[in-house]
């Protein structure tokens, strides 16, 4: 009897990690991005309180780019739901729309920068302009990384590697894209409120 119990103890499977390692890495990455933008927000508020702060109206194109990013987030969610239902054509269309809207968002941000220059708001000069370019530039960089993640998900979707039994890639992609959307909304409201 002891030998049977000993054998059962030796053969029981080891407890596995509760969280997928790739998802855990994603969440660590998201926390580091939050810390980066929190530190920049704090620096912005401290520097603004010191004075010599140029106030300017945010170009309207940033409003439109915010709407584009929100719509892209809806398309990303559509892609996730399509993957859960094995609707492969809809999945490909939704990821493609998300990707195109992400590119449109970047283009609109660049156009916004051109409008800022036309308003004599430069990266070098008054700190208010510098902070605006840093915030939008850092976010733009993360959008580029999001587009790379989207591209890999799109390739996987065309190879039929994203489906109801293999959702990890699309879950990671959707989480990151929605995070970037929420981050932009935070930055947008922050810059509108404290500019």
pLDDT per position as a tens digit, 28-79: 999 999 999 999 999 999 999 998 888 899 999 999 999 999 999 999 999 9
Distance (Å, rounded) from C-alpha 134 to C-alpha 78? 31
pLDDT at 166: 86
Distance (Å, rounded) from C-alpha 34 to C-alpha 110? 23
pLDDT per position as a tens digit, 149-188: 999 999 999 998 988 898 999 999 999 999 999 999 999 9
pLDDT at 3: 55
pLDDT at 10: 57
Q: Over pLDDT 70: what percentage of the chain?
A: 91
Protein fold of 22-194 = 1.20.120
pLDDT per position as a tens digit, 73-130: 999 999 999 999 999 999 999 999 999 999 999 999 999 999 999 999 999 888 999 9
pTM of this structure:
0.87
């Amino acid at each position: 009897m002891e030998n049977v119990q000993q054998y059962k103890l030796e053969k029981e499977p080891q407890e596995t990690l509760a969280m997928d390692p790739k998802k855990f890495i994603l969440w660590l990455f998201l926390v580091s991005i939050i810390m980066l933008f929190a530190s920049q927000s704090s620096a912005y508020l401290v520097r603004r309180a010191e004075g010599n702060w140029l106030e300017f109206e945010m170009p309207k194109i940033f409003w439109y780019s915010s709407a584009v990013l929100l719509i892209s987030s809806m398309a990303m969610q559509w892609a996730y739901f399509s993957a859960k239902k094995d609707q492969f054509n809809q999945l490909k269309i939704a990821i493609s729309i998300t990707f195109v809207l992400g590119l449109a968002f970047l283009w609109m941000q660049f156009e916004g920068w051109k409008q800022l220059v036309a308003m004599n708001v430069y990266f070098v000069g008054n700190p208010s302009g510098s902070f605006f370019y840093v915030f939008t530039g850092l976010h733009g960089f993360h959008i580029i990384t999001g587009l790379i993640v989207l591209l890999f998900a799109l390739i996987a979707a065309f190879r039929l590697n994203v489906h109801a039994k293999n959702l990890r890639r699309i879950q990671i992609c959707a989480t990151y894209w929605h995070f970037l959307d929420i981050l932009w909304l935070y930055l947008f409201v922050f810059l509108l409120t404290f500019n």
